[in-house]
Structure 1
Amino acid sequence: MNKKQNISDTKSTMLTYKDVLLFVPNIIGYTRVLLTTIAVFCLYSELPHHTVIAYVISEFLDVADGYFARKFNQCSKFGEVLDMITDRCTTTCLITYLIIIYPQFSVFYCFLISMDISSHYMQMYDSLSSGSTNHKNMDSDAHPILKAYYTNRQILFWLCFGNEAFFILSYYVHYLSGFPRTLVYVLLAASFPVFLVKNLINLVQLFYASKRLAINDATQINQNQNKSKIV
């Protein structure tokens, strides 16, 4: 009777994919997707105040989903990928609109989009292929810049916050005049160094992840060749 009850209790506590989809941090992630959709709609409807509000709320929820994932022990691969995709799509949508209002910087903006997506994809793929549980986990031999970036939550937050602030302020200042515009220019200047550091880290991340993937490829090829020689 006790064994049957234990088996029944075990089955009742087993998670299904629906449970994972309804994790609190993942629900926050869906909310961010909705806010990004609203922000994009407001972008092209030329509603700058609404755009900024939706965008800023989405960015603060990006911090909240990680907090609740750790608090409720609801970390998941799905949530990790959802978070990264939402981040990349949100930033890309904003930058593509910056190309419209600042066409003279279009090549520069295209470079930023490419670097952002490629560096994070490489990092994610390298982490998954090496069996890491999270793309933010760093080995002991990881590049010191990446280790500081991913393992120190304060550094991670402020660099991401400053980078996104630079983009959203670049957009917002286009629609302002008078004192508000001057104030935004000051904030824009303050966020610019953070923006530079964050995108330099993207370059380091792309190189480091590419190098690790190539090292793993070389190791795997050498092992296969040694096996074939033995056979």
Structure 2
Amino acid sequence: MVSVFLFVPNLIGYSRIFLALAAFYFMPSSPKLATGLYLLSSFLDSFDGHAARLLNQCSRFGMMLDMLTDRCATMCLLVNLSLLYPRYVFLFQLSMSLDISSHWLHLHRSVILPQIHPGDTGLVPSLNIHFFQLLLYCSFPICAIKTAISVIHLITAARNMAAMDQAEGEQGLASRKQD
């Protein structure tokens, strides 16, 4: 049997980590190369889950590797964007906080109740805008959707956790009344 560390989806995950690290290394000196590497890393994210199901190689390790790679890549990107656009640091900080808190709470809720499913700055000549502005405009809808999903995860997981606490409290109260 193949070690879980060598499952195809996990190999894809390792390549995503390598590409993301290379992207962050090149961000200060070669933003176009960094953008390409980061986008390739993000693109591969759409394949690891499909490969896991297709090859029957789903694993807890792979699930955690994928989630941690996503979170770390997002955090590193937002830190770099904060350096490039210090005026928007507060918004990037809010995005980081929302991303971490919603995924953390959602993960813990899903562990407790797995059956609930509620997921070079040159101008671009023809457009007369900077490359990163174009990237920002193109990625904004995706970021907005991702933020909305994070808010939904946060609210759903918080409600589920609160309902569990309330149910446990009511069970404790009922058992005390029986005594």
TM-score tier, shorter chain, comes to 0.7 to 0.9
C-alpha distance in 2 between matches for 1:189 and 1:53? 17
- Unmatched runs of 5 consecutive residues or more in structure 1: 1-14, 143-149, 151-173
For 2:147, the equivalent position in structure 1 comes to 199
**Relative to structure 1, is the Cα distance of residues 194 and 54 closer, same or farther in structure 2, using a 3 angstrom cutoff?**
closer
1:18-97 superposed matches below 5 A: 19-44=3-28, 46-97=29-80
For 2:137, the equivalent position in structure 1 comes to 189
Report the Cα offset of residue 196 of structure 1. 2.0
Q: Summarize deviations over 1:23-57 as a string: whole Å, max 9, x none.
A: 1101111111112221121124x221221122111
**Relative to structure 1, is the Cα distance of residues 117 and 123 closer, same or farther in structure 2, using a 3 angstrom cutoff?**
same
**Relative to structure 1, is the Cα distance of residues 103 and 186 closer, same or farther in structure 2, using a 3 angstrom cutoff?**
closer
Larger Rg: 1
Say how many residue pairs are matched: 177
What is the one-letter code of the residue matched to 1:26? N
TM-score (norm 1): 0.69
CA-atom RMSD in angstroms: 2.2
C-alpha distance in 2 between matches for 1:216 and 1:88? 27
Higher helix fraction: Structure 1 or Structure 2?
1
For 2:106, the equivalent position in structure 1 comes to 123
Report the Cα offset of residue 126 of structure 1. 0.6
Aligned identity (percent) is 34
